[in-house]
Amino acid sequence: MTKAQAKRPATLATRLRGKRVLVCVGAGGVGKTTTSAALALGLALRGQKVAVVTIDPAKRLATALGLQELSGEPSRIDPQAFAAAGVEVKGELWAMMLDAKRTFDEIVARLAPDERAREEILANPVYRELSTAVAGSHELSAIAKLYELYEEHDFDVIVLDTPPSRNALDFLDAPNRLLGFLHGRALQVFLAPGGLTARLFGRGTALVFAIFARVTGVDMLSELSRFFRSLSGVIEGFGERTAGVAELLRSPDTTFLIVTSPEAEPAREASYLKQRLGEAGMSPGELIVNRVHRDGLQGHSVEEVTEMLTDGLGRALASRVAGNLADFDVLMRRDEETIAELSGAREGQHPILVPHLDEDVQDLLSLARIAEYLFA
């Protein structure tokens, strides 16, 4: 056990007692999806009925969670799957995944005939407004789902993974932004029968879409309007619910867990997130530093370790291995510095540390290992 952990007043399980909604936020790629699943598993191990809403899980993780398809409803992970992995779950773990559809920017990047057409489309104001709204719609469906699970099901705890937003907190504003957009003029015009778009936005805009359609064969305008029509299902009723959602996100039942890796950039984002959550009246409950490097040489020198390994590995290999372990120590020291900074900024409240595992975390057993660290 590290010093930081020894000083911790209570385990995560204790600190999360009474919380019904856990939202994992953080920069892209730091381990939000992994942490969400491991948190949910850890709580289920302790006897709770838990639902985890994941967004774009890696394929193998989705399979491990029994998520072959997007059903729109959580399904229970077969207790036999846990038994097979040697993991004993006292409660229930339910999981579902949301489809974080590709953003239109990606579609444009893929389909645009050349750099110039691409830049032109991306810079187009109407396009910009539409694509922001589309991105917002993933976030909206995540939050709408959370609210529905909270209101209509009897889960003890719901864990929500969040989409890889450019700004991790955008998704909290997304419902309002999207509703504003849908009720605004742009969409009305957009969904209006042909011709009107051109008249209202000027020929430039219509031309962009027309050229785009001719060159790529993708009729962006009808794609988009089909998309917005299909969205109306999610939107319906969400307007009246936004107050309830806003309340839920700020309620004492809900806590945000900020996930970061020990790299400088995500750590900076984590500090910024904490501040923004506070300003928005939400509770940044815990900070989780994932993928922390562990001691490689364990206090020995490179020479000593080479010496120790030489009998088994031969001189050349032993020295390579020792070199690798020394690299780990460099990363470990970098991690320690970042963690110290993060702890300092949190007035001595120590973050929860999860080590960088040698394997990718994509099955129940390795999730259980992560859970062990989270709840240590």
Ligand X SMILES: Nc1ncnc2c1ncn2[C@@H]1O[C@H](COP(=O)(O)OP(=O)(O)O)[C@@H](O)[C@H]1O
Binding positions for ligand X, rule: CB under 6 A:
28-34, 58, 164, 290-291, 354, 356-357, 360-362, 370
Q: Minimal distance in Å, beta carbon 163 to ligand X?
A: 9
Considering the complex, state which of residue 53 and residue 354 has its C-beta at the smaller distance from ligand X. 354
Of all residues in the shown chain, the one whose CB is closest to Mg ion is 33
Token duo for residue 176: 């309002």
354: left (phi over 0), alpha (psi -120 to 50) or beta: beta
Q: Minimal distance in Å, beta carbon 61 to ligand X?
A: 7
Q: Are 33 and 161 in contact (CB under 8 A)?
A: yes
296 binds, among ligand X, Mg ion, none (CB under 5 to 8 A by kind): none
Token duo for residue 51: 């639902």
Task: Tell which residue, 238, 222, 219, has the closest CA to residue 181.
Answer: 238
- Binding mask 12-41 toward Mg ion (x if CB under 5 A, else -) reads --------------------xx--------
Q: Minimal distance in Å, beta carbon 306 to ligand X?
A: 27
CA–CA distance, 135 with 171 (Å, rounded to integer): 9
Q: Does 290 bind Mg ion (CB under 5 A)?
A: no
31 binds, among Mg ion, ligand X, none (CB under 5 to 8 A by kind): ligand X
- Binding mask 71-90 toward Mg ion (x if CB under 5 A, else -) reads --------------------
CA–CA distance, 324 with 303 (Å, rounded to integer): 13
Q: Are 49 and 91 in contact (CB under 8 A)?
A: yes
Q: Minimal distance in Å, beta carbon 49 to Mg ion?
A: 24
Q: Minimal distance in Å, beta carbon 334 to Mg ion?
A: 24
8 binds, among Mg ion, ligand X, none (CB under 5 to 8 A by kind): none
Considering the complex, state which of residue 124 and residue 362 has its C-beta at the smaller distance from ligand X. 362
Considering the complex, state which of residue 31 and residue 74 has its C-beta at the smaller distance from ligand X. 31
Considering the complex, state which of residue 126 and residue 354 has its C-beta at the smaller distance from ligand X. 354
84: left (phi over 0), alpha (psi -120 to 50) or beta: alpha
Considering the complex, state which of residue 24 and residue 224 has its C-beta at the smaller distance from Mg ion. 24
Task: Tell which residue, 156, 161, 167, has the closest CA to residue 61.
Answer: 161
- Residues 144, 147, 150, CA angle at the centre, nearest 5°? 150
Count Cβ atoms within 10 A of the Cβ of residue 302 and give its class: 0-12 exposed, 13-18 middle, 19 or more buried: middle
Count Cβ atoms within 10 A of the Cβ of residue 170 and give its class: 0-12 exposed, 13-18 middle, 19 or more buried: middle
Q: Minimal distance in Å, beta carbon 86 to ligand X?
A: 20
Q: Which residues contact 114 (CB under 8 A, 6 or more apart)?
A: none
Considering the complex, state which of residue 32 and residue 291 has its C-beta at the smaller distance from Mg ion. 32
Considering the complex, state which of residue 165 and residue 362 has its C-beta at the smaller distance from ligand X. 362
Question: How many chain residues bind Mg ion (CB under 5 A)?
Answer: 2
28 binds, among ligand X, Mg ion, none (CB under 5 to 8 A by kind): ligand X
The residues facing 21 across adjacent strands are 158, 254
- Which spans of this chain sit near Mg ion (rule: CB under 5 A)? 32-33
